[in-house]
Amino acid sequence: MAERDDRSTGILPSILDAIGHTPLVALDRIARDRPGRVLLKIEFFNPGFSIKDRIALKIIEDAERSGKLKPGGTVIELTSGNTGTGLAVVCAVKGYRLIAVMSEGNSVERRRMLAALGARVELVPQAAGARSGQVSKEDLDLVDQRTEELTRELGAFRADQFHNPSNVEAHELTTGAEIWEQTEGKVGVFVGTVGTAGTFMGIARALKKRRSDVRTYAVEPASAPILAGGKVVDTRHKIQGAGYAQVPPLWDPAFCDGFLGISDEEAIEVARRLAREEGIFGGFSTGANVAAALRLASTAVPGTLIVTTANDTGLKYLSTDLFPE
């Protein structure tokens, strides 16, 4: 039976058609009295409540087109939770089995969402000396090892977000293009955290190809500024999904104009202020992004538009110390 398409009436064929086209909101309260104007792209408006829905859809559809993923197949991926949730949404609609491999250090809300969406969650114990709620490079290495083992055992399709060019392309074609259109080409600065580097690279490529003088700044945990060439003091931090103290394979320094290190404390403080002053309920990485944007806005040329992203919702962190009772 052919799928109905009622988009002309406002009815979408599936939840997958609700991915993208998220709003861009001015933070004129939290960023008041600064010469630069901070704009936040609200990515928790996506169905899986994060920016990673965009890459999940692109990765799966590209794999279908290439023949790497067959009807009824199994998808597997290592995840801090957001990419896994995006893949779970896509796989639920398209009929694929999903195995999400993640560290026990990631928030419990993420794994419960994955299970609710029909995914099998494979939890990997943290490395020795790890702290709950802080996922380190060593933790990620263990998750990667287990993902590779399961991929071989099951003959599954691995989404492979750290190496898959579809990750970057998704943001170049959608997120970056949307930012350009929403600012009418007036965006002056983009700033964002780097995990797989897909979001940063895709948006940076989209903006710089349209106007080469757009400035782009990468956000790293203050304790692990590896992209900036700084000293890695501690690979453990609370900014889940970013800052793994390694140079991602998708990273291209030619598209980055500078770096900002943000501490856990700064990220937490700004995330809480966003909720109280702007009514925007984001997670740790959203706090880090806005903290970096505010820093840039303080010294910007008056009127400069500084864009960053609200990567996911604070609802995914209610079991952490981000928003205490």
Quote the tokens at residue 175.
């997120």
30-63 b/e (C-beta count within 10 Å ≥ 16 → b): bbeebebbbbbbbbbbbbbbbbbbbbbbbbbbbb
**Which amino acid type is present at position 23?**
P
By the 8 A CB rule, do 149 and 94 touch?
A: no
**Residue 308 burial (CB count, 10 A):** 28
Catalytic residue (one of 52, 58, 94, 208): 52
52 annotated active-site: yes
Measured in degrees and rounded to the nearest 5, phi and psi for residue 37 equal -110, 125
238 annotated active-site: no
Quote the CA–CA distance of 82 and 132 in Å, as a whole number: 18
Quote the CA–CA distance of 321 and 171 in Å, as a whole number: 30
Residue 270: its H or E element: helix 264-273
Question: How are strands ordered across the β-sheet holding 187-193?
Answer: 24-26, 37-42, 305-310, 187-193, 215-221, 258-262
By the 8 A CB rule, do 172 and 205 touch?
A: yes
Quote the CA–CA distance of 256 and 268 in Å, as a whole number: 25
Surface-to-core class of residue 69, CB atoms within 10 Å of its CB (0-12 exposed, 13-18 middle, 19+ buried): buried
Bridge partners of residue 192, in order along the sequence: 218
DSSP for 112-137? Answer: HHHHHTTPEEEEEPPPTT-BTTB--H
Catalytic residue (one of 94, 107, 285, 316): 285
Residues annotated as catalytic are 52, 285
